[in-house]
Amino acid sequence: MTVLDATLSDGRKAQYVLVDNPPAGGMKKTYFSPDRSYVVQFYHKQSAAHDPQRKSRLEAILGKYNPTIIQAQGGAAASETSADYFKRLFCWPTGIVVQPDIGIVAPTYPGHYFFADGPFKGKEKEGGWFLGTKTRKLLPGSELGNWKGYFSLCICMARAVRRLHLAGLAHSDLSSKNVLIDPLQGTSVIIDIDSLVVPGLYPPDMMGSPGYIAPEVLGTQHLPINDPNRHLPSIATDQHALAVLIYQYLLLRHPLRGPKLHSTASAEEDEHLAMGSKALFVEHPADSSNQPRDLKIPYTILGQDLTDLIKRAFVDGLHAPHKRPAAAEWERGLTKTWDMLIPCTNPVCTHQMFVLADPRSVCCPFCKTFYPINTLPVLKLRSERRPGQWLPDGQIVAFHNQSLFPWHVFDNLYSGELADRTPQAYCVFHEGRWLLINQAMDSLTSPGGNRVPIGSAVELKDGARFRLSQQAHGRIAEVQLLQV
């Protein structure tokens, strides 16, 4: 084994193992450290790598824009909690290599982002393996996970993109290749961070990946780079790619690839038009010409919040970038829909979960199994926006063993990177009754106005209203007992 030293811009040394055919992407080749805890990556085009603009971009990415380092240490994170959280959502570079060539040092992906079994054992869990019809069939069941895992990883992905956009950054090449996923743990990690776009400062290196490039970028790529009508990767184009990824992971199909033929000249021309100027949503409500014949599961099974976001992304905003949902809206829509997920009791159901999209029919859309209990409580949450005025503010399906968390109890808390994830209560179906068991709420109040001690329960009867907390920002929950 030949081990060499790379010199970093701050004088540190990083060892890497020299191999004949290192893994290579479009811009870099990769060498592992001897203990495989990090990688050293060298740019293919060293002429571009020596560009002073690239160096200043890397310095900014590793410093003032870096959400994995706290501000006191030159980064962008407001706290250690936030920094540690985003270290899990990004594979953020940790050093700039200046010798023997220009490159970067980055952490190795955690082990769960490599396949542990099946024909792809040892390979990185790029999203494409899970999305391709043929490759998905080759994956063992032990690697596929369930629908809850895909919802969770989509939340992680939206949260990471929201953090980039909050700083004014754009990834420029979000795709199933540059977002590794693990449906088993419900996590994702965004890679290839070194080419981030800072509007007005650092232009994009990449135009994007096929299937994820925004229509306006593809439709104007023939124009000169400095043409004012030319669209380049930006936050708006990231928003398109993010929407495509979320739609794919939740529905296992592409939102634009349908049967409609746009050109007979060549397959390349047809693809160019289908993803660009002639792009048409496969579930467009007013134009079914691109809808596959075998489309059996409509996107409306995702519930109202995600239905609205998908319509904005692929109907209203497909060719109007300013109408696309922001990453923060996807994050919030996904977390609200997460609270409406219900376990499917069919042991061979492919998804194991479904969204309560229609209270009149509590039935899994994937395997047609009905919920096994003849009642199901939904907690309608309300917040006091003005003194004495309690307005609707979310809902949660209270299935057996469902938990409530601090962000359900208080309207000023959010389930983001800084959230306290201590369960506050859980729901059970016991002897024909639905109960909410208090685990940590010190001022839970029954419908009759009595305090409910920790360890005690509130019965979830239809129409019952009770305070989750008497403290400021504490919510009221109103029970809707569905008849299944």
Which has the closest alpha carbon to 176: 151, 194, 157? 157
Same fold, 2-107 and 373-483: no
Which of 41-45, 186-190, 475-479 has the least mean pLDDT?
Answer: 41-45
Beta carbons of 335 and 158 less than 8 angstroms apart: no
Whether 484 has a pLDDT exceeding 90, the answer reads: no
State the DSSP code for 56.
H
Question: What is the band of 9 on the pLDDT scale with cuts at 50, 70, 90?
Answer: very high
pLDDT confidence of residue 48: 57
Give the architecture-level CATH label for domain 2-107: 2-Layer Sandwich (3.30)
Residues 6+ apart with CB under 8 A from 445: 451, 452, 466, 467, 470
Asked if pLDDT for residue 191 goes beyond 70, the answer is: yes
Domain ranges of the chain: 2-107, 113-338, 373-483
In this prediction, residue 50 carries a pLDDT of 62
Residue 384 in this model has a pLDDT that exceeds 60: yes
Q: Average pLDDT of 224-244? A: 93
CA atoms of 77 and 71, how far apart (whole Å): 6
Q: What letters, b where the CB count within 10 A reaches 16 and e where it falls short, cover 400-409?
A: eebbbbbbbb
Would you state the pLDDT for residue 47?
67
pLDDT tens-place string over residues 117-141: 889 999 999 999 999 888 999 999 9
Sign of the dihedral through C-alpha 69, 73, 76, 79: positive
Residue in this structure with the two tokens 């809902």, named with its chain if needed:
395
- What value does the mean pLDDT take over residues 421-427? 97
pLDDT at 53: 75
CATH of domain 373-483: 2.60.200.20
Nearest to 192 by CA among 25, 408, 3: 25
Q: What pLDDT was estimated at residue 388?
A: 86
Say which amino acid occupies 193.
I
d(CA 31, CA 42): 8
For residue 391, pLDDT over 60 is answered with yes
Q: Which residues pair with 428 in a beta bridge?
A: 435
Nearest by Cα to 171 from 272, 249, 65 = 65
How does strand 389-397 pair with strand 403-404? unpaired
Distances (CA, A) of 283 to 13, 249, 287, 315: 53, 16, 8, 9
What average pLDDT does range 442-458 have in this prediction? Answer: 96
Q: Closest Cα to residue 174, out of 191, 187, 188?
A: 191
What mean pLDDT comes out for the span 327-347? Answer: 97
Q: What interhelical angle do 327-338 and 147-166 show, nearest 10?
A: 150
Average of per-residue pLDDT across 108-125:
92
The mean pLDDT of the chain is 93
The answer to whether residue 52 scores a pLDDT higher than 60 is yes
pLDDT at 204: 75
CB-CB neighbours of 320 under 10 Å:
12
Using a pLDDT cut of 70, give the percent of the chain over it.
99
The pLDDT score that the predictor gives to residue 49 is 55
Cα gap 130→325, rounded to integer Å: 25
Strands (E) in 19-102, as ranges, are 28-32, 38-43, 95-99
Question: Which residue in the block uniquely carries the two structure tokens 């069939």?
Answer: 137
CATH number of 113-338: 1.10.510.10
Amino acid at 187: T
CA dist 334 and 152 (Å) reads 8
